[in-house]
Amino acid sequence: MSGKQDPGEVQPAAGRDGITHSCAPQRAGKAERARRLAMIGELLGRNMPSGMIVARVMSEFGIGERQARADLAKVRGQWENELNREAPYLRAQLVYTLQHMIFEAFADRAWGAVTAACRELAKICGLAMTKVEVSTVPVTTGPITRRVVATGTLQAATTVNHA
């Protein structure tokens, strides 16, 4: 190409330091964008607050707040999609782990651990207990009957053998 300039071509402006700079902001390449998203994922994995992640990404990559927040939202969306896709398997794995914890705690006669694991298992299965009702009734003569109450809450009943 000869040294002639095309009249429609825009020439970059020279800065104070004498170095030619482009007037338009440079677009990030795929590699830089991938590094940004990987860094955001790592910082999210460390439970860093969103504001700190945005500030760090802005300073390290020289991007604006709007772009940093858009990248953060993209990573969060990717994580949410992965969790939704793997949720049934994660739930089954958690149930399996809790069952083994219950069996081992039961064998060790660690009743507190058995109770805690059973509560977690009940939460996962949607049977979480929201309130506990305790009541006492004086025992008089006659047989004691036991009834299963199915009101959606768990109710403990204690019976006394009356002689």
Tens of pLDDT, residue by residue over 10-51, are 455 455 555 554 544 566 688 999 999 999 999 988 888 999
pLDDT value at 98 more than 60: yes
Q: Which amino acid, 69?
A: R
Say how far apart CA 123 and CA 119 lie, in whole Å.
6
* Contact between 140 and 129 (Cβ < 8 Å): no
Segment 104-119, tens digit of pLDDT:
888 888 888 888 888 8
Q: Which amino acid, 145?
A: T
Helix (H/G/I), strand (E/B), else coil: 2: coil
Report the candidate in 82, 51, 83 with the shortest Cα–Cα distance to residue 68: 51
* Proportion of the chain in helix, strand, coil states, percent, rounded to 5: 50, 0, 45
Q: Which amino acid, 57?
A: V
DSSP letters spanning 76-145: HHHHHHHHHHHHHHHHHHHHHHHHHHHHHHHHTT-HHHHHHHHHHHHHHTT--------------SS---
